[in-house]
Amino acid sequence: MKLRKKLVLIFSASYILIFMCFIIASNTFLMKGFIDIEDSNIKKETELGLKSLDLRIEELDQTTHSFAARDDTYYYIESGLKHFINELLLSSTFIDYEINFMAFLNKEGDIICSKAFDLVELKNIPFPGSIREAIEQHGVLKDHNETDNWVSGILMTLDGPILLSSRPIITTEESGPIVGTLICARYLDFLEIEKLKGSTFLSLEVIDVNDVNSLDLYESISLVLNGSHISIERQGYDTIIGYSVLYDIFEVPVLVLKVDSPRDVYSHGLLVLAYFVGSGVLAGFVIALLSIFVMNRFILVRIVKLSEEVSEINPHMIATTKVAIPGNDEVSILSENIDEMLDALNLYQHRLKERERMATIGETSAMVGHDLRNPLQVVYLLGSRLGKKIGVLRDSGVDDSNLKDLEYIEEKLMEQTNYMNKIVSDLQDFSKNINVVYEDVDLEQTLVDVVGTLKVPENVDVSVRVDERLRSVRADANLLKRVFTNLLTNGIQAMPKGGSLTVTGTASDDEATIMVSDTGSGISGENMSKLFQPLFTTKAKGTGLGLAVSKRIVEAHGGEITVESEEGVGTSLTIKIPMHPEDEEKSSDEIKVSDAEEASEIQVQQAKYN
Amino acid sequence: MSKASILIVDDDEDILYFFRVLLEENGYTVSTATTGGEALKQAETNKYDLVLLDYKLTDISGGVIADKFRKINESIQIIYITGYSLKNGEIPGSEAVREVLVKPIPEHILLRAISEAVVGQGFQTEYEG
């Protein structure tokens, strides 16, 4: 999957996740808060409804009390003369005090006077039998023992629920003896409900418990009956209902008070939540888009560019390739690192080529060397046969002048053969590993021996000065002889017009230093760098292997060879080898093996990189 | 006193020719062979004291052939003549190989090596160099 696609997916997933958390959190905390407020409100409203009803009942009771504790009423019961209560039975009394029924009972509990009034039609109506029955039936309404006894509340009748109050009839001074009972009542009908609505501004309803048929309502009421004061029911998003139960004068639940209320708080909460979520969605969307844009602009585009540049790298053009991405951040650092890697790769490639070249030189040298040795052998034998034949001819008295010519030919033949042999030996030496066989070497004697084998021209002055301590050094004498021969021969050949060759041997505690200085033509700066490369030579007759082999021999000893030169002044070659090699066993020149390993390592790295 | 008998094995005919001339002049009895197989066949029918053996032959490696010569004749001496410059002191093949000479071999070195090889066997040597 492409990085860009992944990024978009990750962003989308995170966005959705955050969004869901957001919604859940707001639902849990915000909406719960709103619902709590709503619950508290509907409870208060329902309580207000209950209280208003209680107040109405109390008002009715006060009215009844004021009519019952009245001398006129008292005298009426005692005397039976109706004019005492005429004023009380006026229609205006019923209307003013909102009374539907009024019943006067004597001491025995018999109704001696009663009146009913329709508060809607505003006219007298016959006293309903149902109410009469209820009064007769319930002794509690008429058995008042004390002057301050009273009964008030709700009573269910066949005509519906009524609010009722019963008071003992006493004198105005509230003294006995009790002569009877006054009962005033009012229908708990739509008119009464409208009154309650008008005073509380609530949406009220009263339902007969026996009429409850809806299951939800029944459950709500069961809750109330089981101890909860008020139960709450939500109807959709619009309405919340508070229920409470009304008890009659016998403490029997008879009615349900239902208070409706619009869910203002809740719907307002929903609106707030919607705004909240909406702005969250928008903000999240904008942030996600911005993030993707920024990621794309500052990272992805550049990585894609880098990737394209890297994929376009030509393995043969590493040296000149750069994948620079401008900036000062991880991406540009990555590009710099890739550049560094390319440089390193280039260097390795260069070295690898160099090693391949060396290996080829080695193989070629070995092959050419071997193939030249058989013809050389033949030429050698030819030369010596020629020498013998010359001897035979001289013995048989041939003219000496002719023989001189032949002798010169023989001499040159052998000389050139020897030189060819040296070239072949150099080639073969170069192709071989160098194994140092350590022994105690007298470097002074070795140098003197080497100088003795050289053909030193008369115009060249050779001097050897060696520190005594170099008379015993751990080294391979045969190998070092070849090194010295090479260096001294080079020095002599650098001074065709004569000069002096100085060999100086010095010693420190752990290092032997031999410096070979000539006063010859010197080496140009251009040639200095190639000096130790195989097959590099400035001589007409030279294989370019002498210094390359010398370097390998010195390095096999754990030493180093350096050169200083000034054109026209001379050249100094300096060899440093340890006086006491730490590990003589390891001192060998396993150049081919290690080269092969390193080369394969580089190839592996290249393969990985590609 | 009898002369030592020498077998020269080399794939170069010119070398065989000039070595034969040289050694015969110095009084040795000389046979030649250009391949390892031919050389072994000759060794079975003739008793040689010394073999000058080219290390690199076209058919059999000198290292292998040296052991075979020793099986045929326990006292036979073997000198390698080779175009390779072998590693320091390392003589491939068997104990039978007495010495390794690297081509081109100067006359006096070849003659000295041969006389040293055969002198131990009680042969007269004519080389005094």
Question: In order of start, what are the domains of chain A with their CATH numbers?
Answer: 29-262 (3.30.450.220), 434-589 (3.30.565.10)
In the predicted structure, residue A602 carries a pLDDT above the cut 60: no
* A411: closest CA of chain B, how far (Å): 14
The residues pairing with B79 across neighbouring beta strands, listed in sequence order, are B52, B99
Average pLDDT rounded to a whole number, residues A217-245: 77
| Residues contacting residue A303 through CB under 8 Å, at least 6 positions apart | A3, A331
- Render pLDDT for A176-214 as a digit per residue (tens, 0 to 9): 788 899 999 999 988 899 989 998 898 888 888 777 666
- Coil, helix or strand at residue A605: helix
> Given this model, what pLDDT does residue A220 score?
63
In the predicted structure, residue A600 carries a pLDDT above the cut 50: no
Q: Which CATH number fits domain B5-119: 3.40.1480.10, 3.40.50.2300, 3.40.190.10, 3.40.50.20?
A: 3.40.50.2300
* A436: closest CA of chain B, how far (Å): 9
More confident residue, B51 or A143: B51
**DSSP3 helix / strand / coil % (chain B, rounded to 5):** 35, 20, 45
Give the confidence band of B92 by pLDDT, cuts at 50, 70, 90: low
Kindly list the strands in the beta sheet with A560-566, ordered across the sheet, starting from the edge strand earlier in the chain.
A460-466, A499-507, A511-518, A570-578, A560-566
> Given this model, what pLDDT does residue B54 score?
86
Q: Which residue of B has its CA nearest to A418?
A: B104
ipTM of the complex: 0.82
Q: For testing the chain A interface, which of B17, B18, B81 should be mutated: the one with the most A CBs within 10 Å?
A: B18
- Find the angle CA(B38)-CA(B44)-CA(B48) to the nearest 5 degrees: 90
> Given this model, what pLDDT does residue A483 score?
92
Which residues of chain A make contact with B10, given a CB cutoff of 8 A?
374
Q: Does A378 sit within 8 Å of B12, measured CB to CB?
A: yes
CB neighbours of residue A517 within 10 Å: 18
- Render pLDDT for B34-78 as a digit per residue (tens, 0 to 9): 988 899 999 999 999 999 988 777 677 767 788 888 888 888 888
* A435: closest CA of chain B, how far (Å): 8
* B50: closest CA of chain A, how far (Å): 20
Lookup: tokens for A106: 């004597």
Nearest to A376 among B21, B85, B103 (CB): B103
> Given this model, what pLDDT does residue B127 score?
47
Q: Which residue of A has its CA nearest to B88?
A: A435
- Render pLDDT for B68-84 as a digit per residue (tens, 0 to 9): 888 888 888 889 888 77
CB neighbours of residue A372 within 10 Å: 19
Range list of β-strands (E), A371-454: 434-435, 439-441
CB neighbours of residue B30 within 10 Å: 20
- Coil, helix or strand at residue B70: helix
Mean pLDDT over all residues of chain A? 84
Secondary element (H or E) of residue A407:
helix A400-431
The residues pairing with B85 across neighbouring beta strands, listed in sequence order, are none
Residues of A with CB under 8 A from a CB of B: 366, 369-374, 376-382, 384-385, 417, 421, 425, 428-429, 432-433, 435, 437, 478
Average pLDDT rounded to a whole number, residues A581-608: 45
Residue spans per domain, chain B: 5-119
- Render pLDDT for A446-470 as a digit per residue (tens, 0 to 9): 999 999 888 889 999 999 999 998 9
Separation of alpha carbons A506 and A467, rounded Å:
5
Q: Does A435 sit within 8 Å of B104, measured CB to CB?
A: no
Q: For testing the chain B interface, which of A363, A374, A416 should be mutated: the one with the most B CBs within 10 Å?
A: A374
- Return the HEC string of A435-486: ECCCEEECHHHHHHHHHHHCCCCCCEEEEEEECHHHHCEEECHHHHHHHHHH
> Given this model, what pLDDT does residue A264 score?
85
- Render pLDDT for A568-593 as a digit per residue (tens, 0 to 9): 889 999 999 998 887 665 555 443 33
In the predicted structure, residue B19 carries a pLDDT above the cut 90: yes
In the predicted structure, residue A597 carries a pLDDT above the cut 80: no
In the predicted structure, residue A598 carries a pLDDT above the cut 80: no
Distance, first Cα to last Cα, chain A? 21
* A309: closest CA of chain B, how far (Å): 51
Q: Does B83 sit within 8 Å of A373, measured CB to CB?
A: yes
DSSP string, A172-238: TTS-----EEEEEEEE-SHHHHHHHHHHH--EEEEEEGGG---HHHHHHHHHHHTT-S-EEEEETTT
Separation of alpha carbons A100 and A160, rounded Å:
13
Average pLDDT rounded to a whole number, residues A425-443: 81
- Render pLDDT for A483-515 as a digit per residue (tens, 0 to 9): 999 999 989 988 988 899 999 999 988 899 999
Average pLDDT rounded to a whole number, residues A303-327: 82
Average pLDDT rounded to a whole number, residues A374-385: 90
